Amino acid sequence: MKLTAGIRVKDGELWAEECLTALSRIADEICILDDGSTDRTMEICRSFERVTHLLRWEKSFFHEGIDRNVVLAMVKHTEPDWLLMLDIDEVFEDHIVDELPGMLAQDEFVAWGFHMLHFWRGKTHFRVDGTWGRETTGHIHPRLFRNQPSLHFPPQRIHGAHILGLEGRAALSPVCIKHYGYSFPDEVRRKYQRYRRVDPEGDYEHLIDERGLALVEYEGPAAQVVEALSKLCAS
């Protein structure tokens, strides 16, 4: 089974090394679209042997939907059996290495979704209060798909990471994704300001709001922790 990973990125040097190191353990090829990075992202990406396609596109507009469909086309060009679509600040838990062969070999499901742990102000604790807790326990992030001609991403300028056109059933993986996008306070502030510029009508206050802050220390595979949180939120 051939697995190709795809990533869109801009200024991702804070996470690129860890993300690509982890991906190189499971992906046969990695395709990357760089949206005009001004840091060391391109240099880091070039240093990984599994990065077989690296396209730099310096454009005058921000549109994640277009970018994701370009990445999808790059990935499909490698003719994989399965596609893995990630962001540069997302890293699978280590036991993906053990779980992945069975996930790819089965015939019942055409896609796998994952719970996401949002790490806060570092890489040791993830956030579970309020919006963050509800998102971790109640939101399934599809990231792994069987290669199908009908796959495409919605034309959303911001976010829109949920793929469309799946033909078949999806399942929830026992592996969580570690999301490091909120690990650095300065980067969180920049992300907040960028989202406000792109989507002035959107509500992004939760990105900088720490009222009721509750963190859980990451101590290894977190599926049971997420399940316990789900029961707590439901009670």
Position 32 scores a pLDDT of 98
How large is the average pLDDT for residues 122-143?
A: 91
Instruction: Provide the pLDDT for residue 233.
Output: 61
Q: Is the per-residue pLDDT at 206 higher than 90?
A: no
The rounded distance, in Å, linking the Cα atoms of 166 and 172 is 15
pLDDT for 198 equals: 84
Residue 98 reports pLDDT greater than 70: yes
Could you report the per-residue pLDDT of 138-183, keeping only the tens digit for each?
Answer: 889 999 999 999 999 999 888 777 899 999 999 999 999 999 999 9
Look at 68-72, 124-128, 169-173, 195-199 and tell me which has the smallest mean pLDDT: 195-199
Sign of the alpha-carbon dihedral angle for 138, 141, 145, 151: positive
Q: Which of 168, 6, 27 is nearest to 96 (CA)?
A: 27
The ranges assigned to domains in the chain are 3-234
**Does position 194 have pLDDT exceeding 90, yes or no?**
no
pLDDT of residue 232: 66
Kindly tell me if the per-residue pLDDT of 203 is higher than 80: yes
Tell me how far apart the alpha carbons of residues 106 and 192 are, in angstroms, rounded to a whole number: 40
Identify which has the larger pLDDT, 25 or 186. Answer: 25
Q: Does the pLDDT of residue 230 top 90, yes or no?
A: no
Across the beta sheet with 90-92, the strand order is 90-92, 177-179, 116-118
Tell whether domain 3-234 is in CATH 1.10.3470: no
Q: Is the pLDDT of residue 235 over 70?
A: no
106 Cα distance to chain centroid: 23
- What's the pLDDT score for residue 20? 98
> In this predicted model, what pLDDT tens digit does every residue of 39-94 receive, in sequence order?
999 999 999 999 999 999 988 888 899 999 999 999 999 999 999 999 999 999 99
CA distance 166 to 55: 26
